[in-house]
Each structure stands twice: as C-alpha cells, then as structure tokens.
Amino acid sequence: MQFAIVIMAAGKGTRLKSKRAKVLHEAGGKTLLRHVTDAARQVVPPEDIYIIVGHQAEQVQSSLGRLGVNFVRQTEQRGTGHAIQQARDAVSRYENIIVLSGDAPLIRPETILQMRDFHLAQRSSMTVLTAFPENPFGYGRVVRRTEDAEQVQAIIEQKDLTPEQTSMGEINSGFYVFRREPLYAHIDELESKNAQAEFYLTDMAGILTAAGERVTAIKAADPDEVLGANTMEEMMDLDGRLRRRSAQILMSKGVTIFRPETTVIDADVTVGADTVIEPFVQLLGETKVGQDCRIRSYSVIENSTLGDRVLVRNGCTITQSTIGDGAFIGPYAHLRPDSEIGEGAHVGNFVETKNVRMGKGSKANHLTYLGDAQIGSQVNIGAGVITCNYDGVNKNPTVIGDRVFVGSDSTLVAPVELGSGSYVAAGSCITEDVPEDALALARARQTIKPGWAKMRRAKHTK
C-alpha cells in the first residue's frame, strides 16, 4: 500500500526569537528538518516525501540539498490545517498520508512504522500519535471517547482549553496518519474561529469523528520522541538528547565513551568496536572512526575518516581528512581539509597540514607546516620544516619521494621536488629540485673565530 509522508515545515517559529526559520536550527549536528526527513527516508522513498515550505522557503529547500524529495508551497502560513490543504493535488494518488512536524527531530522510523501499522490494523481514517510528557503545557490535548477509549473525540489546543481541561495529560505529538479520501473530503470544513485564528489540522479529529469516521490514538513508547522546541533553552535540551542518543547507540556497539555527557557526537557519526573516546571529544558531521582507535580529550574531528588502531592524542583539530590504519596524530596537530595521512604515519606536536598526501610510515613529528605537498613513504620530516607553498599569488606544489630525509628547520620553496632517497641538510632553504639520492645543502657556511667570545667579555667587564 502506497504511503506519502508530508512534513510540515512552513512556519516561522516566532517563539524562538530568531531570524532563522525554526526548522533550520540545528540540534545534534543537523537541522531539525533534516532529522525528520532522514527518519522519513527510512520509511518511504524520497519521491514519496512532500515537504510543506513557506517561511524562508528557498533556504529550507536548499538546506536539504539533492535528496530528491518534493516541496509544496504554503505562501501564507495560516495554520497546520491550511498547510495540509496545500498538498491536496500533490498527494492525490496515495491512499494514506503520514503527516510529520518538521520541528520535532527525535522521531524515529520505528515509531512512524508502528503508527502506520496501528492505523491500518484499526482501519482508521485518522490516527494520532500521543504521549504523556511530564509537563503537557503548550501541547494540544487528546480527548478520548467515553464509549470507546481507543477512539478520539477531539484534540484541543492549549490556548483553547477550558481551565478544567488543562489537567488533561495526553498530548498530541503532531504526528498523524490519514486516509487521504476522508481527509480531503472534509478538510474544507476547517474554520479559524479559535484563539490563534488559524486553521488547525488537529480539528480534523472532531470533524472526522462527527462525520462517523474512525479516529484513533496510539501512545508513543518513548514520550521524549514527540518533543519539539519553542525556546532556545528547549532547543539545547533537544541537542543534549540527540547527542546522548548517538553516544548510547555507539556504546551499544562496543565503543567506550568516558563521560559521555561531555562528548559532542553528531547523529551520522560511526565508530568501530573497541575504540575509546575520552572526555570532551567532538565527532562531527559524517566522521567515521575505525576499530581499536583511541581519541584523546579535546580533539575535534569533523567530516573525516579514520582507519583502525589510530591514536589521536590530546587537542587535535581534524577536518575533511583521511587517516590510515595505525597512524599517530598529535598532540595538538591541525589537519586541515584534504590531508591524507598514510598507514602507520606519525603527525606530531604542533604540525599543520593542508592538502597533503603523506605515504605509509612517514613522520613529521614536530612543529611543521606541510601544505599542497605529496610525500612518499618512509619519509622523515625534521622539526620545524616548512613548505613555502604560497608565493603571494599562487599555491604551488611540493613533491617529496620515498625515503627522503628533510633536516630540521628547512624551508622548501615550492614548486620544488625532492627525489627519492635524497637528503636535505638541516637549516636549508631549498629552491631547486633535488635529484634522487643526492644531498642538498643550502645554507651559509659556518665560520669560527677562536677566542672571540672571551675577548668580548673582557672588553665589557673593563
């Protein structure tokens, strides 16, 4: 049976007091809407997903990139019922429609499927997902039918509750399944005679019940899943929950995370078993970490791939880079975009790399800048070596062959090539290519003046 998923994401989110549309705010490393869309994509193919956009529509659409989902415009935001009215033509070929709120990012695909299956088993025209949160304030409340508790009489918004009704604890999550035919047969009966002068989708519960259609409710297994955010404080609470969820998933797969409450792990990060993550580590974006690694405190790793048995010591920043199996990084190394560190390589203290390919077993252990460089295997880069890759106008490449030894404090003025097996004497400023197996010495010759220091001291003590 074909289902469409409609995600409502056209609202502004006035209560956040932000210039940015609410669904574009980030929690757990992704926008709220991206979380909901990713959950939807686990349930139906992207061509069956319809996102209602209105406020900052262009930004909302482009935030989802090329996922292949559809967009429906709601040019004026006149309420959730009005939002679903706009989708009438777009979803006309489906038998059932799942409606999700773009501002409730904790929803899991399992829960969407449960709601769908319940809806089908109950042969309902409308099913609403409900929960009993600690504090129901602000949510719409679900009134069950007295003669059959499985069925819903109506949903009443917080602002429209009578004082006696405020004690009702079962809330509307904002997630629903509808049979398309009765939904659109009755949706034009919605009125905006309410506290917010909006067309409430929630009123469909009362309208369909009155029309003799079956409206049912299913309770979410985890009440947290329905949480949204209306204030920044609530947004950061969602962020904490999403990151705790990521850490819990990783721990259930054999990853050790010391003090998980201090780590910041985005939802799409993967980590292999037996890897240890120390306190205050951030793993962001699409980062992938292999097995048996150790990530020490205060390292921030973003959109990068680490092999197995990699050691990242304290305080490293690693962005859009790849690190081979068994490599050692840091402490305090900065791997900027497009650094490819080979198997077993060492990148040590205060080393900065950018657009570098470093071969197997090569070492740059101390105080070095390597930019736009291709470095072979088993190379030794001495302390303080600098690739001078920028001439003020262009970036130029440095090519270093296998088994090259670059003495400490050398500068390599690019474009320049050091042939395999060559040797650069410490303190050299290399401006010309060095042939294979040659020694390059490019520094002033040392002079010795015997007794000079003693004479100077004598002059000054006079």
Given the complex with ligand UD1, which of 202 and 377 has the nearer CB atom?
202
Residue 317 interacts with which of ligand UD1, Ca ion, none, CB < 5 to 8 Å by class: none
191 in Cβ contact with 256 (< 8 Å) = no
Given a contact cutoff of 8 angstroms between Cβ atoms, the answer to whether 215 and 128 are in contact is yes
Instruction: Supply the minimum distance, in Å, between the C-beta of residue 203 and ligand UD1.
Output: 8
The site string for ligand UD1 over 34-53 (x = CB under 6 A, - otherwise) reads ------------------x-
Tell me: does residue 102 bind ligand UD1 (CB under 6 A): yes
Among ligand UD1, Ca ion, none, partner that 171 touches (CB below 5 to 8 angstroms by kind): ligand UD1
Neighbours of 43 (CB within 10 A): 18
| CB-closest chain residue to Ca ion | 228
Question: Whose CA is closest to 446, among 426, 416, 462, 422?
Answer: 426
Residues at the interface with Ca ion (CB under 5 A): 103, 228
Query: If binding is defined by CB under 6 A, does position 10 make contact with ligand UD1?
Result: yes
Q: How far is the CB of 245 from ligand UD1 (least distance, A)?
A: 19
Pick what 201 binds: Ca ion, ligand UD1, none; C-beta below 5 to 8 Å, kind-dependent: ligand UD1
Q: Is the CB of 36 or the CB of 373 nearer to Ca ion?
A: 36
* 189 close to 135: Cβ distance less than 8 angstroms: no
What DSSP line would sit under 370-395, residue for residue?
EEEEEE-SS-EE-TT-EEE-B-SS-B
Binds 10, which of Ca ion, ligand UD1, none (CB < 5 to 8 A, cut-off by type)?
A: ligand UD1
Place of tokens 């209602």: 52
Q: Which of 4, 5, 6, 8 binds ligand UD1 (CB under 6 A)?
A: 8
Task: Please report, as a single letter, which amino acid is at residue 181.
Answer: E
User: What is the rounded distance in angstroms from the CA atom of residue 418 to the CA atom of residue 433?
Assistant: 6
> What tokens appear for 222 in the block?
């985890």
Quick check: is 346 catalytic? Answer: no
Q: Please work out, in degrees rounded to the nearest 5, the angle formed at the alpha carbon of residue 428 by the alpha carbons of 427 and 434.
A: 145
Rounded to an integer, what is the distance from CA 206 to the centroid of its chain?
Answer: 39
Q: Which residue is nearest to ligand UD1 (CB)?
A: 140
Quick one: 83 or 293, whose CB is closer to ligand UD1? Answer: 83
CB crowding 115-127: b at 16 or more within 10 Å, else e: bbebbeebebbbb
Least CB distance from residue 11 to ligand UD1, whole Å? 3
User: Which one of Ca ion, ligand UD1, none interacts with residue 157, CB within 5 to 8 A by kind?
Assistant: ligand UD1
- Classified as helix, coil or strand, 106 is coil
- Give strand pairing partners of 302: 284, 319
Query: Cα separation of 52 and 208, whole Å?
Result: 23
Residues 75 and 10: their CA atoms lie apart, in Å, by 8
CB of 113 to ligand UD1, least distance (A): 20
Nearer to ligand UD1, 61 or 374 (CB): 61
CB 134 within 8 A of CB 151: no
Distance in angstroms (rounded) separating the CA atoms of residues 177 and 256: 39
Q: Which of residues 151-210 bind ligand UD1 (CB under 6 A)?
A: 155, 157, 171-174, 200-202
- Candidate list 35, 119, 366, 460, residue with the active-site label: 366
Q: Which of 139, 184, 328, 369 is the binder for ligand UD1 (CB under 6 A)?
A: 139
Contacts (CB under 6 A) with ligand UD1, residues 241-300: none
Among 30, 34, 35, 82, contact with ligand UD1 (rule: CB under 6 A): 82
- Shortest distance, CB of residue 98 to Ca ion, whole angstroms? 17
From 348, 267, 350, 260, select the one nearest 312 (Cα to Cα): 348
Rg (CA), the chain: 31
Please report, as residue ranges, which positions from 12 to 31 form the binding site for ligand UD1 (by CB under 6 A). 23
The residue range among 79-87, 117-125, 367-375, 438-446 that interacts with ligand UD1, by the rule CB under 6 A, is 79-87
- Applying CB under 6 A, the residues found at the interface with ligand UD1 are 8-11, 23, 52, 74, 77-80, 82-83, 101-104, 139-140, 155, 157, 171-174, 200-202, 228
Catalytic residues: 366
